[in-house]
């Protein structure tokens, strides 16, 4: 199963919203986890988020197929 980002439901790039949809968990939980990771490991978290945002396809492109 492919993970898609969801920019229509997301705040910034839609990565967290896409992961929440994929894992079927509330977006708020993943956003809190992302903030905790950003505070504890800012360089790694920011780099991983940016890479995920650039590499993950948009959910909207899947709906057109």
Q: Dump pLDDT digits (tens) for 7-25.
A: 777 788 889 988 988 899 9
Q: Dump pLDDT digits (tens) for 16-57.
A: 988 988 899 999 999 999 999 999 999 999 999 999 999 988
Q: In this model, does residue 65 exceed pLDDT 50?
A: no
What is this structure's pTM? 0.76
Number of residues that make up the chain: 65
Report d(CA 56, CA 6) in Å as an integer: 10
Position 64 confidence tier, pLDDT thresholds 50, 70, 90: very low
Tokens of 3: 């993970």
Domain boundaries, the chain: 25-55
- Count of beta carbons in the 10 Å neighbourhood of residue 10: 20
Task: Give me the residues paired with residue 14 across strands.
Answer: none
Q: Between residues 53 and 1, which one has the greater pLDDT?
A: 53
């Amino acid at each position: 199963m492919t993970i898609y980002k969801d920019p229509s439901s997301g705040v910034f790039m839609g990565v967290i919203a896409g992961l929440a949809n994929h894992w079927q968990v509330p977006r708020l939980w993943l956003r809190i986890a992302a903030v905790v990771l950003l505070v504890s490991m800012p360089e790694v978290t920011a780099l991983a988020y940016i890479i995920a945002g650039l590499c993950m396809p948009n959910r909207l492109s899947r709906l057109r197929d």
